[in-house]
Amino acid sequence: MSNEVLLLTTTQIKNVMSYYATSKIERNAPGVIFAAKLSDTSITAYKSGKVLFQGGGATREAMRWGTTQEKTAKKISSAKGDTLPEGFALKSVLGSDETGTGDFFGPMTVAACYVPADKVELIQFLGVKDSKMLTDDLMRKIAPDLKKSLTYSILILGNEKYNTVQAKGWSQGKIKALLHNQALKHVLTKIAPEKPEFILIDQFAERGIYYNHVKAEKEIIRENVLFSTKAEQLHVSVAAASILARVAFLEEMDKLSLKTGFTIPKGASSKVDEIAAKILLDKGEEELKSITKWHFANSQKAMALAQKKKR
């Protein structure tokens, strides 16, 4: 079993409605303008122009309207990690993802999000997809609806705490693993006694390394856990978690901009060095250290720039 989502023009959707007219069914759901049911496939068209094909014949029917099986296969095969069960995209899954790990400014944020099977279609309708395919502004708009619709946990690790544990020798991999385990535990507690069919972690470390990082934890989430790269493309639970983590990061960056009086840039570019140097000169080293990942090379670059500006 699989699912396919196409974005079609108004004319194409009219053709879809005409083609499946004899299989039409009533579907009273938000945004639905047409629904049909074949022996092995459900077809749902939305006002947004999206058409969702679900079931064993989803790829076959979607190919009638512009997709290709080769594209779908390439997308899935590019992911690395555990082999996922058939029909995984439609199952009840608790997914987790993180952001902020490569940014000099701002915290590391991790989110876990549970999407039961009966809400997969709704989350797709809300526009959830790999966060790398969405703009920050669009993610900010989607996030409130996700929070209303789903059970989730968002963890924010401020840079003062980050710098403390990093100085003790903790790698980013260990920090991420501990946060993922904690976020997953929070969501499992919230949804109990219900359990997801699977847990999917956007893979940043091999399974053995991940569990070595969390081996000292009192409660370690192991049951039905799968790891995969590009997990946002494999289930909407990880895509939703990615969006919630990203928006939490953006909101923290907004706070930093207000606090410092400078527009804080993302990433670790030369632009970041320039702003860091200005904050260093304006507010001092301790203030800059408290809002950055101090072991990044940007800290030394910022101090060098600040020294030049003093001359």
Element (H, E) at 110: strand 108-115
Question: Model's pTM, two decimal places?
Answer: 0.76
182 and 206 together in one domain: yes
CA distances from 208 to 31, 46, 99, 139, 175 (A): 44, 43, 22, 33, 15
The per-residue pLDDT for range 223-242, each reduced to its tens digit, is: 999 999 989 989 999 999 99
Q: Which two tokens stand for residue 151?
A: 């059970």
The per-residue pLDDT for range 11-22, each reduced to its tens digit, is: 889 989 999 999
pLDDT at 29 over 80: no
72 and 95 together in one domain: no
Rounded to whole angstroms, the Cα distance separating 211 from 26 reads: 48
- Which of 104, 107, 135, 131 is closest to 269 using CA atoms? 104
Domain that holds residue 282: 268-310
Give the CA-trace dihedral at 162, 165, 166, 168, to 10 degrees: 160
pLDDT at 170 over 90: yes
In a domain, 293, yes or no: yes
Instruction: Give just the sign of the alpha carbon dihedral 67, 72, 73, 78.
Output: positive
Lowest model confidence (mean pLDDT) among 53-57, 77-81, 86-90, 249-253: 77-81
185 and 241 together in one domain: yes
Q: What is the mean pLDDT of residues 133-141?
A: 87
Q: Which of 76, 103, 129 is the last residue of a domain?
A: 76
* Residue 283 Rama label (left phi>0; alpha psi -120 to 50; beta): alpha
- Token pair 């939490």 in the structure block, residue: 248
30 and 158 together in one domain: no
170 and 111 together in one domain: yes
Rounded to whole angstroms, the Cα distance separating 9 from 20 reads: 17
In a domain, 81, yes or no: no
Residue 155: half-sphere exposure toward Cβ, Cα within 13 Å:
23
